[in-house]
Structures are given as structure tokens and as C-alpha cells.
Structure 1
Amino acid sequence: MIDKNKSYKDIVGFLNQKYPIYLSEKWDNNGLFIPPDREAVTNIVVTLSLTESVIEKAIAQKANFIISHHPLTLSGLKTIDSKTREGHLLLRLIKNGIGLYVAHTNFDCHVEGLNYYIGKAIGLSKMEPLEPINKDTHLKLEFYIPKENEKTVFQALYSLGAGAFNNYDSCSFASKGFGSFRGLENSSPIGKVGELTIVNEVKVEMIIPKNKAVEIVETLKRVHPYEEVAYYLHSIIFNEKKNGLGKVGVLRKAEKLSEFMKRVKAVLGCESIEMTYPLEDIMIKRVSICGGSGKHLLPLAIKRSDIYLTGDLSYHDFEKAAYYKFPLGNIGHFHSERLGLIGWSEMLSRQLAVAVCFLEEEGMYSTVI
């Protein structure tokens, strides 16, 4: 059932929790760019990139929220100039009250992200990341709080994403103890200046997103009852097995290379696919994929699979694959990601109970015959 009063804040909350920003590459720019002028979302448009045509179609469909896979810009804007592409498109969105949200590499890296939907479309199962995430995306925060203030502080920190990881939020550990201190001259303690104060406290431990550490610590200081807040930040590195770039999976049964590529071409809806040549018509069972640009994952694909499908490949990538007699297919940036976004749009419509439409945009270039 369609919810005609769904708040854009609920949609942003769902997307932020489902595809957390910490999964993004450091150079990327994800999240809410512009809120719509009305809180209730009428329709959602999902697109590969924000273009003039996408905005025109969104207006025609009376959609007031756009989810784009590609960011409009990878860096922040200091000014909005209508003479630039970015400025012109942003002003058109603002003028028409349309919100913009971007889910790029955080969606790419998610266990049920872009490559998951591509893999499903070409018949892969038992999928796992081609390159699992292994980076310092989080910190461990420790602090001490009077037992009576525990709930207030927790709520403030949880609202900023503290204690959230994958499919869980509000995660923390608290151990009981006693804190002691004596406020000296010019201090403002909760006890009396010059007297030893002993407080029933809890020691709290929780993980926080590294990119929100400053905001979370400042909030902790603001809501904490003590004048001086004792806290510690520890570096931690997650080696995740389920989130990461690309996918490697298996076909239900082995297929000849020629038959498999004909089927992939039909599923993608593209005119042609560049392949390593010449190759024998070998049997394909284990397949690696990476929608968009995945040339840097070629060495991993060679080790882990029978074939690799990705986009934005160069002559030298095919040169390397040919040396190892490894099947490499250039399925294109546009066609590969388009396939993933179709499946994603269907899921969003079910999960959000809002009308979601994927706009079938043309690629940015064509083959001249």
C-alpha cells in the first residue's frame, strides 16, 4: 500500500541506516544534498545521474524527491552559479521544490547494493565481496556518566549515529562503578568546591562513525552534567566479510563462455561487449562483477573467478587479461549500473511504501557507425 504522507526524513533515515556513510570511499560525496520544500514525498525518481532530462521527467511525474547514484559534485560547493552545470541543476531542483539524495560508493559496497542486484540479474548465487572492506571507519568511544543522566546522554548520542553498525543501532556497554573528584578554586563541580565528591557512575563503551567523531564528542560535552568530561577515543579496524566492492558468485550450472556472454548481453540490453580475444570457448562457473568502474579489482578477479565483468576498461587491462588467458568483459559503466538500479528501485518501492520510478536514461555517448 502506498503511503501518501511519507516524510522525506523517514526516507533519508532509512537510506542512511541501510547504506551508512562509513561504507563510502573517502573521496565520495553521499547523503542528502537538498531537502524537498514539502515534508511529504509524493513520488520518488531513481536515476544513475542527475541531468536536465531527469529533472524534466520528475516534474512531469510530480515527483518531489530524486535519488541519484552519481553525486552531482564530489566536493562541496562554495557558491551556486547558474552558469555552471552543477549550479544550474541545483537551482532547478530548488525552484521546483525537489529534494536530492545521493547513494554512490556506500551503495556500491553494501552487501545488498549495486553488485548484488547485477549478480541476481545474471543468475549468480552464493555471492560475496570481491574486495571486502578493511578500513578504519569507526572509533571506540569510552566515557563516564552519573547513572541518573545515562538515558539523556544515550539518546543524544544515538541520534547522531553512535552505537550503530550494519543492521543494529543503539548498541553500547555500561559497567557500574564510583567516580571521585574534588573541584578546586574557579571550578563549577556538581558537588561543593574544595570537597571530595563520590558519584555513582557508569562507564560507557560504544562505537561511533569516524567521520562524525567531532560532532558526537561535542554533543557529549554539551549534554553531560560535568564541567570537565572524561572520555577516550580508540582506533579500531573492521575487516568485514559481507560488505565490500564488487561481487564474486557462482552460476547454477556451468555455461560455455559464448553462451554466457550472449545471455549477459541480452540482460544488459547493450549492443556489444568488448572481450579478451582470442579465447577458447571455456566453461564458466564462477563469475566476478563490478558495476561502473572496476579495473583496479582485475587482479583479485583473476585469482578468484573464471571471468570478470566490469566497465571503464582500457587497452592495458585487456593486455593483462590476455597474458593470463583470462576472460575479461567490458560491460560499460552505464549498462552495468543501470541494471543494478532497476532492481534497487523495486526494493525501495516495497520497503518505503512510496511510488518509486527508475528513469531509463540514455548513456552519455553512443557508437558512431
Structure 2
Amino acid sequence: MPVTLEQIGIVLENIAPVSFAEDWDNSGFNVNLHNTDVSGVMVCLDVLPEIIEEAAEKGCNLIISHHPLLFHATKKIDSESYEGQCVRMLIERGISLYCAHTSMDSAPGGINTWLADQFALTNRCYVQNGTTEHFYEVAVHTPRDHAEAVSRAMALAGAGTLGEYTECTFRIDGKGTFRPGLDASPYIGQGGKLETVDEIRISSICSENDLQKVLCAIRNVHPYEMPAISALRTDEPQCVSSGLGVVGDLPEPSRTTDILDRLKEILQTDSIRVAGEMNGKISRVGVCGGAAGDFAGAARNKGAELFITGEIKHNDYVAHTDIILVEAGHFDTEKCFCQLYAQGLQKCFHDVNYNIAIYVTNLRRPYVNY
């Protein structure tokens, strides 16, 4: 069965939602040729004329890149410029372009998570928090003999999950009173007569994302015609669901030179740039792919003693002498994107039974050599 570009767009949101992207970014569709069926997908780091040709030769009419083709505000399309040439080639060959830039940097399981995983970092936090999801306290009064059914339905809908704990509730016994109207259909009692019932108040925490599912689950199993439900947004806890950069603890303190050797092995590169004292041992490390030298101070504030990124400006080296700075190259710190995104896309296609070929372009070497 054909799969439309719009259907694919929904799947892409499951991997790295555009809402995770920074305001200054241009993640999402850069070229959207609507009302087309997707014949194949090509994943790349950058959009280049040769990659567009490669996609066309392989029968792909959707390219997914990490870096946006249209990044800054565009006032004209010049076919002799890099952007204009690529746009013209994409349209002529009927290829749409989707870019997952800071959305994939910030997503759990994205580039920065991959970098942190290579060093087995624990006790993690984001260098810069992204999307923050609030929690709600949901409370409902139910007859005693329905308490377990209501509580179970709430849990299955996502309520009561905090970290490694599930089915967390608080219960209070009490007396409920109500007077059904003459046209009501009460589970207990008679119209016009005041009733007193032994009830249990069940309260539980749920995420903002799960709130409507929890409310629906309660109503589906609750015996009352009009159950009394309250939902109050809490200041704490909060769930940070995305962020840029990761800081975490190494499994054990390591010499700086050993960390750098491990980094070159991970990135399969022969050279990196380092500033700072290299004789001691490091316990806590920060990572952020791409150009994130301006995050050095924030990483230090989160306890990082060494910060790895792709590009660092001279001023950042000057301003942050209290942390070891490692510049490993924009290309090398982000080249993992292609395999990461292709694997995530393959899983999503499998889950929804989409039979579409996915190709990863042969990565070129960095544009700058040392």
C-alpha cells in the first residue's frame, strides 16, 4: 500500500519532534512536495548536489539530512548558489527534504545521548534543558468496591509513574454525599434523595502528555454517571523531556589522556584540539555535538571537568580556563546522525508496517583536514 509524505511526516515526529528544536533553527520540511507517495528515503549529514543525484539514482524521493539546507531567511532563490542549485535539483527530481537538526541534538536517543553512551556516563543531566513537561495530580472519589478497578485503569493509562516507580497512589477513606436529580440515572441512590456512601479518594501523579488518557480511563471504568475528578498542575515534579548537551559521571575517574584516546577511537579521527591541564584525573564529562563552545560555562556549572564538542571559538577558550575544552570537529561529533536516524526510522517503519527502502549515503570525509 502506498505511503504518503504526510504519513511519513507523522513517523518522523516520533523520532525527533520538531518541538524539540531551538527557536533559531529550521528543523522540519525544507522542501515539501505535497501529495506524493514515498518510494525511498536517503539519510545524510549535509545536502549536497551529489547526494541528491545519489538519492535519485536509488529511487528515493525523500532526503533526511541533519543540517538544514535553508537555514537563514531566504529572500531569493539563485540557481548558481549552493542553496539555489540544491533546491532546483530537488524540485526537478521530485525529491522532498526533511531536516532533523537541533531536534535530533535534543531528542533522547539523539546525537548527544549517543556521545554520552560511548563514555557510559551516569547521573546525567542536560547542559541546557529543552522541553519541560509538567505533572498533574489527578484525584477521584469512587465507591470502595470500585477502587481497585479505577486505580488499575489510571496506572495503565500512565498515572503513578515516577522514575523507576509505578502505580504510585495516595488513598483516603471518607464519606461522600450527593442528591441525584429526578432525571438522573444514579449508580447508587434514588432521585431527589440525599445519599451517603463510603468512598475512597484516589490521587496519583501523571504527566501532562498522559493527562487526557488518564481522565478518559477513569471515566470508562468509574460506576458513577458523573464522577468527581480533579486535575491540578504541580510545580514539582517536572519532567525534562529534551535538552542540548549531556553532562554525566564516568564509571570511574580517568586520566585526561585516556579520555582523549578513547574519544579519538570512538570518532575514528586522528586529531583533536585540547586546552587545559591534562595531568590530572577526570570524574565528570560534558558532551555536545556540533558547534557548542558557548556551552562550556553551563557544562562547568553542571559539574563537568572536561567538555567535548565539535567547534570552539577563540573567545570561549579565553573565557573558560577552569574546564578542559576538547574540540573534536563538527563533522566527527555529528557523523553518527546518519546511522542513528536510519535505525530509528527503520524501527518506526516496522512498527507501522511501512515497507520503504532506507539508504544511508556514503559519508564524505570532513571538509577540513588537519
Class of the TM-score when normalised by the shorter of the 2 chains: 0.5 to 0.7
Q: CA deviation at 1:278?
A: 4.3
**1:350 equivalenced with 2:347 (yes/no):** yes
In 2, Cα distance between the equivalents of 1:77 and 1:333?
24
**1:306 equivalenced with 2:308 (yes/no):** no
Q: CA deviation at 1:40?
A: 3.2
Q: Which residue of 2 aligns with 1:58?
A: 55
Q: Which residue of 1 aligns with 2:367?
A: 365
Any stretches of 5+ residues in structure 2 without a counterpart? 134-206, 217-230, 351-355
**Contact 1:133/1:239 (<8 A) preserved:** no
**Contact 2:21/2:102 (<8 A) preserved:** yes
Q: Which residue of 2 aligns with 1:244?
A: 243
In 1, Cα distance between the equivalents of 2:304 and 2:80?
47
Q: CA deviation at 1:263?
A: 1.3
- TM-score, normalised to structure 2, is 0.65
Which stretch shows the higher mean deviation, 72-81 or 252-261? 72-81
Which stretch shows the higher mean deviation, 241-250 or 330-339? 241-250
Identity of aligned residues (%): 26
How many residues are treated as equivalent by the alignment?
A: 275
**Contact 1:38/1:97 (<8 A) preserved:** no
* Matched AA of 2:307: Y
Deviations 1:220-272 (A, max 9, x none): xxxxxxxxxxxxxxxx9x97523111011233333222112111101112220
Helix, strand or coil at the partner of 2:297: helix
Q: Which residue of 2 aligns with 1:264?
A: 263
* Matched AA of 1:283: K
**1:110 equivalenced with 2:112 (yes/no):** no
Deviations 1:167-223 (A, max 9, x none): 66977989xxxxxxxxxxxxxxxxxxxxxxxxxxxxxxx9xxxxxxxxxxxxxxxxx
Q: CA deviation at 1:314?
A: 2.3
Q: Which residue of 1 aligns with 2:282?
A: 284
In 2, Cα distance between the equivalents of 1:114 and 1:53?
25
Q: CA deviation at 1:38?
A: 7.2
In structure 2, relative to structure 1, the CA distance for the partners of 1:32 and 1:327 (3 Å cut) is same
**Contact 1:93/1:99 (<8 A) preserved:** yes
Superposition RMSD in Å: 3.3
Helix, strand or coil at the partner of 2:317: helix
**Contact 1:63/1:98 (<8 A) preserved:** yes
In structure 2, relative to structure 1, the CA distance for the partners of 1:364 and 1:260 (3 Å cut) is closer
In 2, Cα distance between the equivalents of 1:356 and 1:166?
34
**1:42 equivalenced with 2:39 (yes/no):** yes
Q: Which residue of 2 aligns with 1:315?
A: 314
Q: Which residue of 2 aligns with 1:68?
A: 65
In structure 2, relative to structure 1, the CA distance for the partners of 1:167 and 1:91 (3 Å cut) is farther
**Contact 1:71/1:104 (<8 A) preserved:** yes
In 1, Cα distance between the equivalents of 2:339 and 2:117?
11
Matches within 5 A, 1:1-369: 5-36=2-33, 39-133=36-130, 241-280=240-279, 282-303=280-301, 304-321=303-320, 323-324=321-322, 326-353=323-350, 354-363=356-365, 365-367=367-369
**Contact 2:255/2:282 (<8 A) preserved:** yes
- TM-score, normalised to structure 1, is 0.65
In structure 2, relative to structure 1, the CA distance for the partners of 1:73 and 1:172 (3 Å cut) is farther
In structure 2, relative to structure 1, the CA distance for the partners of 1:42 and 1:128 (3 Å cut) is farther
Deviations 1:317-349 (A, max 9, x none): 23334x32x221001111101124422322222
In structure 2, relative to structure 1, the CA distance for the partners of 1:169 and 1:86 (3 Å cut) is farther
In structure 2, relative to structure 1, the CA distance for the partners of 1:266 and 1:73 (3 Å cut) is same
In structure 2, relative to structure 1, the CA distance for the partners of 1:75 and 1:170 (3 Å cut) is farther
**Contact 1:16/1:31 (<8 A) preserved:** no
* Matched AA of 1:8: L
Q: CA deviation at 1:18?
A: 4.2
**Contact 1:122/1:267 (<8 A) preserved:** no
Helix, strand or coil at the partner of 1:50: coil
* Greater Rg over alpha carbons, structure: 2
In 1, Cα distance between the equivalents of 2:334 and 2:210?
28
In 1, Cα distance between the equivalents of 2:15 and 2:125?
18
Q: CA deviation at 1:361?
A: 2.9
In structure 2, relative to structure 1, the CA distance for the partners of 1:63 and 1:292 (3 Å cut) is same
